[in-house]
Amino acid sequence: LQVSPEQVILSHSPLQLFNQFHQKCMLVAGQGPVEENAQNLGFKHVVTIEALRKAYPLLDMVDQSRRPKELPPPTTGFPTIEGVILFGEPVRWETSLQLIIDVLLSNGNLGAELQDIPYPHLPVLACNMDLLWMAEAKMPSRFGHGTFLLCLENIYKKVTGRELKYEALIGKPSTVTYRYAEYLIKEQAEKQGWKSPIRRLYAVGDNPMSDVYGANLYNSYLKSAHQNQIQTGVKRSPQAAGPQTEDHLKPRQDCDYSVESCESILVCTGVYRHNADVPSKTKECTTETVFHGHRDFCFDPSLVEASYIVQDVNDAVQLAFKKENWS
């Protein structure tokens, strides 16, 4: 299987279209080369959590071994932070939670005396909302970035009495991600010389609360768009079928709305598993009493009901081939 970088979408990929923030000084949090990732997405002025901690060492006080032994000199020349990008769960949660809260409370100027708590606070863009993910451990699931966001939201509300607001939530199940995926799929189809319009998308995943929920939410969005086009006869942006459908994605404005549906396919090799054979009734198997989705996405049982349940990704691909009469 030959896969090029242009065919891959990560949870943060749609950030490259948020160009209204690309010239601002943004604090980035997560693991790996977050500074490089932000720059590759178009952000010109990036500050990492570690750089912020070094500039203001008196802020990070939970780990006693990292507390300064002597009073450091005042910090000068450090830029004012204008927004926050949360790429994924960090390694040292206490440090990231503390400094992100500090940035929001100080309006990005950590060297100033705190007067009134600003609200609305600085823009926060968060990627990857999965509460849990499947690893090799015998215990069922590991903490994901959604768990970190849950901590951040609750700390902010406990300290300020107000809700933490997101400028955008990116990654499944956000409609933004599926809109961006559709745009790239059509772009790839044009490069490969496809003439026929794409009518159906297939979204394969193992997590009912993110993969299936997001695909079904986007399916509702597509039906709304298609219905608006039929009723009005003009290409206008439809109302979203759910929350967090930001208008940041310009490619959608030039879309002909040829895609009519997004089919959700749930596989049993990750977060969702069952011991018996693949069941025929998906609703009975995907309904959960505890909603693991993000705070800003209201729970709708119908949205976690997959169009199909199969054993693994290979079966999902074969199913799509069969549905499209390619087999």
Does the domain formed by 8-66+79-169 have CATH 3.90.1010.10? no
Angle 232-237-11 from CA coordinates, rounded to 5°: 150
- Enumerate the H helices of 56-110 as residue ranges: 93-105
- Residue 233 pLDDT: 59
Q: Are strands 83-86 and 124-127 parallel, antiparallel or unpaired?
A: parallel
Q: Walk along the chain (327 residues) in steps of 10 and give the mean pLDDT of each run.
A: 88 95 98 97 98 96 93 93 98 98 97 90 96 84 94 98 97 92 93 92 91 95 82 49 45 63 94 56 53 85 93 96 89
Q: Which residues have C-beta within 8 Å of that of residue 321, sequence separation ≥ 6?
A: 327
- Residue 149 pLDDT: 98
- Residue 118 pLDDT: 95
- Enumerate the H helices of 172-244 as residue ranges: 175-191, 213-232
Q: How is the chain split into domains, by residue range? A: 8-66+79-169, 196-231+255-276+286-324
Task: Write out pLDDT tens, residues 256-306.
Answer: 568 999 999 999 988 787 654 444 454 544 445 677 889 998 888 889 899
Whether 133 and 142 have beta carbons less than 8 Å apart is answered as: yes
Asked if the bond preceding 120 is cis, omega within 30° of 0, the reply is yes
- Residue 235 pLDDT: 45
- Residue 246 pLDDT: 46
Q: Are strands 45-48 and 83-86 parallel, antiparallel or unpaired?
A: unpaired
Tell me the sheet residues that pair with 127.
170
- Residue 127 pLDDT: 97
First to last CA, the chain: 18
CA-to-CA distance for 140 and 198, rounded, in angstroms? 37
